[in-house]
A and B are shown apart, each in its own frame.
Chain A
Amino acid sequence: MKEGRKEVPRLRMATATEQWVLVEMVQAVYEAPAYHLILEGILILWIIRLLFSKTYKLQERSDLTLKEKEELIEEWQPEPLVPPVSKDHPALNYNIISGPPSHNIVVNGKKCINFASFNFLGLLDNPRVKAAALASLKKYGVGTCGPRGFYGTFDVHLDLEDRLAQFMKTEEAIIYSYGFATIASAIPAYSKRGDIVFVDRAACFAIQKGLQASRSDIKIFNHNDMADLERLLKEQEIEDQKNPRKARVTRRFIVVEGLYMNTGTICPLPELVKLKYKYKARIFLEESLSFGVLGKHGRGLTEHYGINIDDIDLISANMENSLASIGGFCCGRSFVIDHQRLSGQGYCFSASLPPLLAAAAIEGLNIMEENPGIFAELKEKCRQIHKALQGISGLKVVGESLSPAFHLQLEESTGSREKDVNLLQKIVNLCMSRGIALTQARYLDKEEKWLPPPSIRVVVTVEQTEEELEKAASTIKAVAQEVLL
């Protein structure tokens, strides 16, 4: 011990001068406690072992002879490219519609009234829209033969973007050539790995794909439950306080839909905006169903609630519902939208929207601006049919009374999804044979994050007369009685 104490001052002097003399080092080894030496010894042995075992493995891999390779290839059998699909899969045989899918539709040879296409404003066979598209066809042909960056930008596209921005009262709009790709490209353009997205449970499939492509952290809150969202936001705040450096570079987004396709309900936007400013998260609003439906002039949920549109960072919608065209658009402030022109995958790497479809959309917008009365008319019809469909034995209406696309679900499920689907299909088929075209809401069962229960989709359009609405309600009632009781 005495020697140890003597050693310590000497060692200290050595560190002070920063010169380790060899003799002193050897002495230090002698003086070190036994367990220390043993531990070091084990470590050294372990390292040697690891070194050796690694070389051994490498040798094994590259030492397969040609004969062994051939044998491995022979033995190995691939699985079939796709699993088999049973011949009576409910989605295998599509309904064939002869002619246009307009108000009077011919499904599988039977004339029906259309209660299944999202043609809310009846623009599908509006003669003005057709004339505008025809004029564009005669001027530009059909395709654009290139993406926006390479001579695929037509003056029609620029016009449509300007008109949409004006209509929605935002600074800028950007159009995509396909509705599904719009939100699925917009989300990954802003939200990357490491960012956090709070999304509603009932978000549609396109949003789910966008979130998946973004690789961000997804936090799901219960459908339209602001308390649940606040709980998640609070939890995140606590996390942030633990690691403020990381919090400073982690972006937060809240993704909601204006009118949910899967449930027919509206998102409580005013509370959401309050949460946005309290917890500093940006809002992306998907308005595919609410654009051209809600609000006094059809501007969507922000007009419906009277919220300043600049409070929403990005509004995305597709033009395939109310505008009866193809494609989608995003609108918002230039600061936000301009970024997508270089980083929106569906914008940069895809051919642009055919000009005749853009011209049809412009004419659709014109009609919407000239007849703001159709929105109130549509709401009235929705209310009428909602009321008429209440009280059907066996079926319940899912969706708000001002939603033109709502669901009819079984009041009591049979217990098996397949049986439910078959029952509903019977109802749909009978309705079709009586002249009311309906469809079941289709989902990819295995891929949905939150699979809604099977349902019949009912869509209300301005073209449906009151008599037709009454007829539809009574047919559905009668058929439901026959099938379910």
Chain B
Amino acid sequence: MLVAVLTYVGYGVLTLFGYLRDFLRHWRIEKCHHATEREEQKDFVSLYQDFENFYTRNLYMRIRDNWNRPICSVPGAKVDIMERQSHDYNWSFKYTGNIIKGVINMGSYNYLGFARNDGSCQEAAARVLEKYGVGVCSTRQEIGNLDKHEELEKLVADFLGVEAAMTYGMGFATIFSMNIRALVGKGCLILSDELNHASLVLGARLSGATIRIFKHNSECAIMEGSIVRLPEVIALKKKYKAYLYLDEAHSIGALGPSGRGVVDYFGLDPKDVDVMMGTFTKSFGASGGYIGGKKSSAPVPVPLKGGDHELWKKSTDVASGFRIASNNLPLCIPQELIDYLRTHSHSAVYATSLSPPVVEQIITSMKCIMGHDGTSIGKECVQQLAENTRYFRRRLKEMGFIIYGNEDSPVVPLMLYMPAKIGAFGREMLKRNIGVVVVGFPATPIIESRARFCLSAAHTKEMLDTALKEISEVGDLLQLKYSRHRLVPLLDRPFDETTYEETED
């Protein structure tokens, strides 16, 4: 409670100062650093609204050095960061030329450790680069469909356990304006989780369908790091005859005993999920996205009777997106989804296909995870990630930090709450050679700013221990150990699906 009040006070003070500075800038008492409109265009309608940028100018600018940190090495477990300095309070940066070497990387989404510049993946990608070049210069439907793309799609379908898959050049674009519109239109209903990613929200809004948002969890508002309750969602979906669209951008490769995502984690049948979407950016160390299609479960349609069919949402359940349609069409046969996407998807017609070396990286890493390359490296990575996750989370909780999210999620949000601590935490950790990601408003609610640690199979226990020691030190310095509940060390907690929160009040 006290923390919440202090957080608001903090924001209040910052806002006041913001107004003061704006006032001073307006009257030219303080120098105006940001770029301005051209002289010739001063009488045009102004491009930006003043208030829109208030937050950017006055709050974000002060702690801007915590983001967009440029690196100059592989984004693996350790990374080299280019040092920057600012002499005008973050309005502009100069590179000193120094490189901070060996920073423990807790910010890159490198779950299985495939971000490497050596090893079989890199060698295979290099071979393909020599042969194919880098670009494609055409779309899938014209002359950009290489044999490599066909090979990749078969492999992805095999990996996910679905009938067929379609791959795209960009993960974000796979949803936004490219596929939700192809599947959903006016007259349909989308039930969407309140914490869905920006790309899903945008794609859903653009589709023109009615959207209803349901709470992520009714008791406590957990964000990021929580795992969808897939068995209940599938039960609901079957009962109400809805279609399930599952976004596995983060979970593919990271969850599940064989790294096949959240469906594998719960041991469910992939055929129950109608549209499985995911990206190759996080666990496979490449770029791009995919959609896996299932057998259609639509029975023979019957003409609808009139009336409004409203769905009663259960506030304790969680899902990634439903789709329900309300018109009539004849029955469709298996593999239709992927055929439809191949002919009607925006990016297949208008956007360039994946680059060949990137495709090869995905193929090699996927084969490694599946064990098809003859080694057990993939399995070891998946296990290592799970161990790292559990260890790290447990130790942080023992220290007394407030950690959100499920026990098995490799994304660990650590609550900071106060705006000043966002900047302080990021800077202090970098001084101690640990690179972390801090997020605040508007990516999170205003009083719930946090630091997000992304664990990787490439992190060794020594690295985690070093990181934990430093986090504890900084936590004491900044008084971040808010939790009143202390976990008894080495307690073997039984696995439970509920998302976790420990609060002070």
Residues of A within 8 A of B (CB): 69, 72-73, 75-85, 89, 91-92, 94-102, 105, 107, 114, 116-119, 123-125, 129-130, 133-134, 137-146, 148-155, 157-158, 177-181, 184, 190, 204-206, 209, 212-213, 247-252, 277, 280-282, 310, 318, 320-321, 323-326, 333-336, 338-339, 341-342, 345-346, 349-351, 353-354, 356-357, 360, 437, 439-444, 447, 457
Contacts and interface: CB of A to CB of B under 8 A. Distances in A.
Contact of A79 (B131, B140, B176, B298): B298
Given A349-B198, A443-B349, A325 B75 contact: no
Given A116-B142, A145-B108, A351-B171, 13 more contacts: A78-B298, A82-B337, A105-B143, A124-B134, A137-B129, A144-B287, A153-B68, A251-B45, A326-B169, A333-B38, A335-B37, A339-B47, A447-B181
22 contacts: A80-B301, A80-B330, A81-B274, A81-B298, A85-B344, A89-B343, A102-B133, A119-B137, A129-B134, A134-B130, A142-B125, A142-B287, A145-B110, A157-B70, A178-B169, A320-B135, A335-B35, A353-B287, A437-B143, A440-B142, A442-B141, A443-B349
A158 B94 CA distance: 13
A83 to B, nearest CB: 5
Given A77-B301, A134-B126, A141-B116, A250 B38 contact: no
Given A84-B336, A209-B177, A151 B135 contact: no
Interface in B317-339: 323-333, 336-337, 339
A84 B331 CA distance: 8
A73 B240 contact: yes
A336 B47 CA distance: 8
Contacts of B199: 345, 349
Nearest to A180: B351
A276 to B, nearest CB: 9
A137 B117 contact: yes
Contacts of B126: 134, 137-138
Contact of B138 (A118, A123, A250): A118
Nearest to A142: B361
A321 B172 contact: no
A143 to B, nearest CB: 4
Contacts of A181: 170, 172-173
Interface in B32-75: 34-38, 40-41, 43-49, 56, 60, 67-75
Contact of B135 (A119, A134, A155, A180): A119
B75 A80 contact: no
Closest 7 CB pairs of A and B: A350-B172, A178-B170, A324-B135, A82-B340, A180-B351, A335-B35, A94-B145
A440 B117 CA distance: 40
A260 to B, nearest CB: 14
B336 A76 contact: no
Contacts of A78: 241-243, 298, 301, 324-326
Nearest to B144: A101
A69 B240 CA distance: 11
A381 B379 CA distance: 55
Interface in B104-145: 105, 107-110, 114-117, 121-122, 125-126, 129-145
B352 A320 contact: yes
A326 B274 CA distance: 31
B38 A124 contact: no
A98 B197 contact: no
A141 B122 contact: yes
A429 B57 CA distance: 58
B31 interface: no
A298 B263 CA distance: 50
B32 to A, nearest CB: 12
Given A82-B340, A149-B67, A177-B287, A442 B139 contact: yes
B284 interface: yes
Contacts, number: 382
B243 A100 contact: no
Interface of B: 34-38, 40-41, 43-49, 56, 60, 67-76, 79, 82, 105, 107-110, 114-117, 121-122, 125-126, 129-147, 150, 169-173, 176-177, 181-183, 197-199, 202, 206, 239-243, 274-275, 279-282, 284-287, 296, 298-302, 304-305, 307, 309, 312, 323-333, 336-337, 339-344, 346-352, 355-358, 361, 435, 437
B143 A357 contact: no
A209 B182 CA distance: 13
Contacts of A144: 75, 108, 281, 287
Nearest to B239: A73
A281 B328 CA distance: 46
Contact of A150 (B239, B333, B437): B437
A386 B296 CA distance: 49
A77 B284 CA distance: 39
B328 A79 contact: yes
Nearest to A138: B117
Nearest to B75: A145
A152 B298 CA distance: 42
Nearest to B330: A84
A156 to B, nearest CB: 8
A150 B108 contact: yes
B501 to A, nearest CB: 24
Contacts of B138: 101, 116-118, 439
A242 B280 CA distance: 53
A180 B288 CA distance: 13
B285 A142 contact: yes
A146 B133 CA distance: 24
A142 B357 contact: yes
Given A178-B170, A178-B173, A356-B129, A145 B325 contact: no
B147 A73 contact: no
Nearest to A310: B38
Nearest to B150: A96
Contacts of A75: 302, 305
A94 B170 contact: no
Given A80-B336, A96-B145, A91 B242 contact: no
B133 A130 contact: yes
Contacts of B44: 280-282
Contact of B172 (A139, A146, A346, A447): A346
Nearest to A439: B142
Contacts of A281: 44
B350 A206 contact: yes
B47 A101 contact: no
Contacts of A80: 296, 298, 301, 329-332, 336
B74 A141 contact: yes
A298 B129 CA distance: 26
Contacts of A277: 40
B355 A357 contact: yes
A391 B505 CA distance: 83
Given A78-B325, A92-B339, A345-B176, A251 B47 contact: yes
Given A117-B144, A130-B130, A138-B117, A179 B340 contact: no
B48 to A, nearest CB: 7
Nearest to A250: B45
A95 to B, nearest CB: 6
Contacts of A184: 177
Contacts of B45: 247-252, 280
A196 B72 CA distance: 42
Contact of A354 (B82, B287, B332): B287
B137 A320 contact: yes
Given A79-B325, A118-B137, A149-B68, A99 B132 contact: yes
A107 to B, nearest CB: 7
B299 A138 contact: no
A249 B82 CA distance: 41
Given A72-B309, A94-B141, A97-B146, A357 B435 contact: no
A81 B337 contact: yes
A327 to B, nearest CB: 9
The residue in B47, B49, B116, B274 that gathers the most chain A C-beta atoms within 10 A of its C-beta is B47
A441 to B, nearest CB: 8
Contacts of B350: 180, 204-206, 442, 444
